[in-house]
Amino acid sequence: MKKLQGAGLRGQSAGQTSLSTVEQEGSLRYLGYSIEDLAKNASFEEVAYLLLLGHLPKKQELEEFENELASLREMPDSLVTVLESIPAEAHPMEVVRTIISYMGVIEPELSFDDQLAVAKRLIGVTTTAIVYWYNFSHKGLKVDQESNERSVAGHFLKLLRQEEIPELDKRTLDVSLTLYAEHEFNASTFTARVCASTMSDIHSCVVAAIGSLRGPLHGGANEAAMEMIENWKTREEAKDNILKMLANKDKIMGFGHAVYSERDPRNAVIKEFSKELAEAYGDDNLYQVSEEVETVMWDEKKLFPNADFFHASAYFYMGIPTKLFTPIFVMSRVTGWTAHCMEQRANNRIIRPSADYTGPESSEWVNIEDRE
């Protein structure tokens, strides 16, 4: 297999982690557990416990962890006031960044002994805050911050849709959160670790990570994929449009990966759930369109869908607005980010790489009146 190399530190090891491993041939493991096994057998809460505490929980440990996360969902009143002042036109990632930053102001991490408690608080409150802002700014609704749903996924969907949620929908989002929870030294995670290496607080590290995720080359691929396919009605229309885009050398989001060379293991999992949702809701148009795009991209470019592509149709079937696709990623990845911060702190050296200098070798000083 061809060794990863090139610009952007491709193939360069930037440190050690026990949290996950991403292999070129299409393997992803969290602390040794394959992503396929975790998606099939674990809840997102179990995965969060695994990442934050280093082992799978026993039954009582999981129940206590779920109860604690549920108890941490309610927002401080002042955060509600802040969210109600943010307009609907705001970029959702800027809203999420504000949520984390403000929590750092009113509930700061006073000691590294508090790091696990802070991580759990962010998992609990971020879900509620994201939905609250969306419903208030876009619908004028002040939704109840509590729900009878134990899971993060169920709680999010219940607050968003304000109705009883089918088990398939809850399970799909739960699996989605597992798929997005951790992914080794990607751009946002590495940003968080660099920040953590300065011994900064966890809120600052997560805000830094969100800043990296805000960039279109890292986050937002599922939103871009949805915007591309949502108006295509048939497989034929999808094929024609993709071929035109390829001929025009347009960027097609949701395909290929910086590390995986053969497949993204997360794609097959969410694709199956997208298919099940399409059948359950009696509308397979978007799934068929997505599948046709997948076929054309492989036939023409030998590019495979990454985790983001079939997430677009899955989220659509669950009634999730496109603007919330990437914030959901944050809801999930805050587990991985905070776990990496804790791991960095446990064996820390400040991350300070060198650079290959490309400027002039020597420059002579010229007085300002003599400069050309």
pLDDT band at 219 (very low <50, low <70, confident <90, very high): confident
- H or E stretch at 311: helix 309-317
What amino acid positions are annotated as catalytic residues?
A: 218, 257, 308
C-alpha 219/C-alpha 188 separation (Å) is 9
Average pLDDT in the 191-214 region? 97
Domains and CATH numbers, the chain: 20-215+322-346 (1.10.580.10), 221-317 (1.10.230.10)
Matching residue, tokens 């070798």: 361
Mean residue pLDDT of the chain comes to 93
**Residue whose C-alpha is closest to residue 353's, from 137, 197, 228:** 197
- Checking if the pLDDT of 304 tops 50, the result is yes
- Checking if the pLDDT of 2 tops 50, the result is no
Average pLDDT in the 248-255 region? 88
362 strand-pairing partners = none
- Checking if the pLDDT of 269 tops 90, the result is yes
- Checking if the pLDDT of 143 tops 80, the result is yes
Residue 15: the pLDDT is 83
Q: What is the CA radius of gyration of the chain?
A: 22
Lowest mean pLDDT among 5-9, 99-103, 172-176, 200-204: 5-9
Average pLDDT in the 20-25 region? 84
**Residue whose C-alpha is closest to residue 66's, from 126, 151, 158, 176:** 151
- Checking if the pLDDT of 218 tops 90, the result is no
Proportion of the chain above pLDDT 70, given as a percent: 96
Average pLDDT in the 326-344 region? 97
Tokens of 19: 């949290």
